Amino acid sequence: MNNIILVGFMGTGKSVVGKLLAKKLKKDFLELDEAIEAREKMSIKDIFEKKGEPHFRSVEKEVVKEASLRKNTVISAGGGAIIDEENFKNLKSSGIIICLKASPDTILKRTKNIKTRPLLNVPDPKKQIGELLKKREPYYNKADFSVNTNNLTIDQVAEEIIKILT
Ligand code: S3P
């Protein structure tokens, strides 16, 4: 359905890059975490705290299903979305999946002062990043293409994606 789906770990730049990419390509932009927050009328942090991760994942699944029916949209998916097989299939059927990557150190640097990510709001975020990345790597590698964002600006990542697409 002509969508571009950005996946990858927290802090790899999916949302900022997605927004810019949508503007450059004159496509709509959809941030799945924002759609989840709008649906639940609650921040992601509060959803995890008050309703638990399984509830978050079930809302995420509904939002992914609906997003996959859209056309001509750049979709930024939360870092855990494609770990679920059904989510992966739905997103894959709707367009090209591009994974943004970054090293654990870069991810730590980009996420350490932001407390809105419950999975990284732990005593040892560095260890958590390493463990989660290892677990999730095979899923992220199922993307059609990937871009290493370590040393690139937001604009450079968007341009790199445009190059991939053309
Ligand atoms: C998550 C990533 C977050 C958000 C939630 C869970 C994950 O999205 O969906 O906190 O499991 O990796 P971002 O990747 O946009 O931070």
> pLDDT for 73-99, tens place per residue?
999 999 999 999 999 999 999 999 999
Q: Which residues contact 115 (CB under 8 A, 6 or more apart)?
A: 45, 121
13 close to ligand 1 (CB < 6 Angstrom): no
Give the range of the structural domain holding residue 140, as residue numbers without chain letter: 3-165
Q: Token pair for residue 30? A: 């959809």
> What are the backbone angles phi and psi of residue 15, rounded to the nearest 5°?
-70, -50
DSSP annotation of 17: H
Which of 149, 138, 116 lies closest to 49 in space, CA to CA? 116
Assign 1 a pLDDT band (cuts: 50, 70, 90): low
Is residue 51 scored above 80 in pLDDT? Answer: yes
Counting from 1 in the atom list of ligand 1, the atom nearest the Cα of 132 is 12
Ligand 1 in reach of 32 Cβ (< 6 A): no
**Percent of the chain clearing pLDDT 70 (strictly above):** 99
Arithmetic mean of pLDDT, 32-38: 98
If one counts the domains in the chain, the total is 1
Residue nearest to atom 10 of ligand 1 (CA): 117
85 three-state secondary structure: helix
Q: Is the CB of 78 within 6 Å of ligand 1?
A: yes
Spatial contact of 75 and 32, defined as CB atoms under 8 Å apart: yes
* pLDDT surpassing 90 at residue 63: yes
β 95-101/28-31 pair status: unpaired
Q: What is the CATH number of the domain that holds 96?
A: 3.40.50.300
